[in-house]
Structure 1
Amino acid sequence: MADVEAVNLETNLHLRGRRIFTSVIEELMSTQGMSNAENALLIGNSAGGLATILNCDRFHSFLPGACRVKCISDSGFFIRAEHLRGAQDNAIANFRKVVLFHELAQFLPESCTQRLAPELCFFPENVVNDIRTPLFLLNSDFDKYQIFNYVAPNSPNEVGWKNCTTELASFQVAQKINNIS
């Protein structure tokens, strides 16, 4: 999503994902026949799923008007666990850092940034209603990254959470046993 001209001298990072996305689509349009596409699908998983949500209409704008375009976000709907202590604050603080580091505020949907802080526009519930291109959201009940980083309590080593955050398969088996008994 980023398009920062300067290279980070400390890390040598080039934050130019927006340019890369545009270049890939333009290349596909000119050399791979995508300019004649009748159907196109943009799919991403996890952080790529979030990028799919945020780029869905942009992707559609590159394609001919007759092309049917749809987007699928797999595990890109990052949650704000309002009823678990610290989880909401952790997620918001994390996305605030991402927005600032990548200088993303200008590239987030304006329909969201006009009414909310930019970091809140990384939460799909604040942007999906404004996306015009058909969008299918698929999210796992057991997304290990989200459970560990956003849902688990401030001390994920607390009794009951350690297995959930480090050994997700054990947690799923325990949940099934609890549901049966």
Structure 2
Amino acid sequence: MRANQQRLPRSVADGAFSWRRQLSKREWAIAGAAATAFAAFLFIISPISVSRTYTDSPAYFHGEDKGSEWVPFTSSLKAQEKSAFCLDGSVPGYHFRRGFGSGINSWLLHVEGGGWCNTIPLCSARKRTALGSSIYMDRQAQFLGILSHNPLHNPDFFNWNKVKIRYCDGSSFSSHPDHEFRNETQLFYRGQLIWETIMDELLAIGMSIAEMALLTGCSAGGLATLIHCDSFTDLLPKNANVKCLADAGFFLNEMDIAGNRTIESFYQDVIHLQGIAKSLNHDCVARSEPSKCFFPQEFIGNIKTPVFLVQPAYDFWQIAHILVPQSSDPSGSWASCKLNILKCNSSQLEILHSYRNALLKILNEFQKNPKGGVFVDSCFVHCQTWATETWHSPSSPRINNKTIAESVGDWYFNRRAAQHVDCPFPCNPTCSHRDLSLLMH
């Protein structure tokens, strides 16, 4: 049996499982972010119903206190003083759970995702959602996956201080107020200020003496993780073990199927509207256009802090918005394929394999860095670190018989090399491919 086909024995049978009952209103609202960002149908960046369903398996994870996973929202105390506001002018915030035992001086920060806005109308629309206003954010968040404090769910980081940073600026925490209040529309482009303000507050409550730290993020939050990785390291003690993990945040600068650079044009508008260039990697901006420097492939080589990339080779968000945006498929011939990879025909699969090959080619240089790590699976999914089922459980995707959690732990603690690249779809039976068509009913 090949390594990719090895897996842990199942202690529970595949059965009915509703992702919705584990997700907050905020996480389902991410669907709206994708829609506003690209004026397309809803694609959420959180786990959705899967083509292979399974249970939450409480019998397998003995002794978990579900209630203890809910962590209250903390409004930023310094936001008013620093003028660090969400798009609508409300105060940003985060959820914080203090570490315990050996993890008392270890910190894990997880940056929430939710797309971007590239026009005044789209940014204004976000003001009426949790992606642009803290008024609409849930007052509690469930800490699962990489945020879990259960050692069976999260073996290496369960007792660390954990922070979930909420996302309400539409810029991957990189906007500046250069172009605010145009056309008499009040929008606050303060992503960079939000980032700096929250970092100041976390430093004040104990992060300044961190011995270990891991900055993580999902999707647009994964991009924010890469953008701020080195500056995050600079905030912490020189002897601290600081690393960064981007989950589904490695967006490719590829042409769509019609030969247009839809995503580059979109990013160019985001950067111009929100004054993002000042937050981008200076070395990259010195040699290239700022719109290109929003793509990790252009600046990841300049990041000095060790980085781990969790990236699905068949990322449903990238397929729907970079490779096959609505404008590139006027006939709708890709509609079913974009919703469920199992419904793609042979010619569509060939194009998807080419997109995977482009990703692997770009990552080839990154993989030569001995301090880096990758987990590139062949699942039709988007973010995978913050959900128990994809982070570390009997149902988790595996490469070389390793879950994402095990691979990240090996890399962070230097136990062994963590360069895991999957074979092409559909070879890996441990994948749970998302069926997005269930959202349309």
Q: What TM-score results when the alignment is normalised by the length of structure 2?
A: 0.37
Residues 15 and 102 of structure 1 are in contact (CA less than 8 Å); yes or no, is this contact kept in structure 2? yes
SS in structure 2 at match of 1:42: strand
How far, CA to CA, are the matches of 2:308 and 2:189 in structure 1? 28
Q: Does the alignment pair 1:21 with 2:195?
A: yes
For the Cα contact (< 8 Å) 1:28–1:34, is it kept in 2?
yes
Establish whether residue 50 from structure 1 lines up as the match of residue 233 from structure 2: no
The answer for the alignment partner of 2:236 in structure 1 is 63
Distance 1:172 1:55, change over 3 A: farther
Counterparts of 1:169 and 1:11 in 2: how far apart (Å)? 41
User: Relative to structure 1, is the Cα distance of residues 147 and 38 closer, same or farther in structure 2, using a 3 angstrom cutoff?
Assistant: same
Residue 131 of structure 2: aligned partner: none
Aligned equivalents of 1:60 and 1:147: distance in 2?
A: 32
Residue 247 of structure 2 is aligned to residue 104 of structure 1: no
Report the 3-state secondary structure (helix = DSSP H, G, I; strand = E; otherwise coil) of the residue aligned with 2:176: coil
> Quick one: structure 1 residues 38 and 179, their matched pair in 2 at CA, closer, same or farther if it must change by over 3 Å?
closer
Which of the residues 193, 197, 211 maps onto 1:38? 211
Alignment RMSD (CA, Å): 2.6
3-state DSSP class of the match of 1:93?
Answer: helix
Query: Which residue is 1:149 aligned to?
Result: 321
Greater Rg by CA: 2
Report how far residue 138 of structure 1 moved: 1.2
- 1:152 to partner: Cα distance: 1.1
* Residues 179, 60 of structure 1: alpha-carbon distance in 2 compared, 3 angstrom cutoff: closer
Q: Which residue of 2 aligns with 1:75?
A: 248
Unaligned runs of 5+ in 1: none
Other structure's SS at 1:85 match: coil
Matched, 1:121 2:298: no
Go from structure 1 to structure 2 and tell me whether the alpha carbon gap of 1:157 and 1:46 turns closer, same or farther (over 3 Å shift).
farther
Q: What amino acid is aligned across from residue 296 of structure 2 in structure 1? A: P
Shift in alpha-carbon separation, 1:135–1:173, aligned structure 2, 3 A = farther
CA distance in 2, matches of 1:4, 1:168: 40
| Distance across 1 between alignment mates of 2:218 and 2:207 | 22
Give the 3-state SS of the residue equivalent to 2:312 in structure 1: coil
Deviation per residue, 1:99-144 (Å, 9 max, x gap): 1011111221111011111000011111000000011111112322
SS at match of 2:177: coil
| Larger relative contact order, structure 1 or 2 (CA cutoff 8 Å, min sep 6) | 1
Task: Give the aligned residue type for 1:45.
Answer: C
Which is further off, 119-128 or 133-142? 133-142
Deviation track 1:53-84 (CA, whole Å, cap 9, x = no partner) reads 11100111111111111111111100123484
Asked if the contact 2:336/2:344 (under 8 Å) is kept, the reply is: no
Shift of 1:3: 2.2
4+ runs deviating over 6 angstroms? 172-176
Residue 314 of structure 2 aligns to which amino acid in structure 1? F
Q: How many residues align?
A: 175
State whether residues 217 and 224 of structure 2, in contact with CA within 8 Å, keep that contact through their aligned partners in structure 1: yes
Question: Which deviates the most, 70-79 or 145-154?
Answer: 145-154
TM-score for the superposition, normalised by structure 1: 0.85
User: After alignment, is 71-80 or 146-155 more displaced?
Assistant: 146-155
8 Å CA contact 1:39–1:67 kept in 2: the answer is yes
The answer (yes or no) to whether the contact 2:255–2:322 under 8 Å persists in 1 is: no
Q: Is the 8 A contact 1:163 1:170 kept in 2?
A: no
* AA partner of residue 120 (structure 1): K
User: Per the alignment, do residues 173 and 83 of structure 1 end up closer, same or farther by CA in structure 2, a change over 3 Å counting?
Assistant: closer
Please give the secondary structure, in 2, of the residue aligned with 1:105: helix
Identity of aligned residues (%): 34
